């Protein structure tokens, strides 16, 4: 069933209030490779990228202390 315009506006308002957006640019073809890897881990592309960032930041904090 299609989403109504009012529902889409509500979702957009919620997203703007609760999330920041980051545009990520990767070489042509890498997106598909990353997405395929994320799927093998049972994650979405966005979830995988967020986990990779979280784990890298946690690791970097351990090294820098």
Query: Which of the four pLDDT bands, split at 50, 70 and 90, describes residue 25?
Result: very high
State the burial class of residue 58 (Cβ atoms within 10 Å of its Cβ: 0-12, 13-18, 19+). Answer: exposed
Per-domain boundaries in the chain: 23-65
User: Does 17 have pLDDT greater than 90?
Assistant: yes
This prediction has a pTM of: 0.76
State the burial class of residue 28 (Cβ atoms within 10 Å of its Cβ: 0-12, 13-18, 19+). Answer: exposed
Q: How confident is the model over 8-19, as a mean pLDDT?
A: 97
Q: How confident is the model over 14-31, as a mean pLDDT?
A: 97
């Amino acid at each position: 069933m299609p989403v109504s315009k009012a529902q889409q506006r509500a979702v957009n308002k919620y997203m703007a209030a609760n999330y920041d957006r980051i545009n990520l640019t990767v070489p042509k073809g890498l997106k598909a490779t990353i997405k395929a890897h994320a799927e093998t881990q049972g994650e979405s592309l966005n979830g995988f990228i967020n986990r990779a960032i979280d784990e890298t930041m946690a690791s970097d904090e351990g090294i820098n202390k």
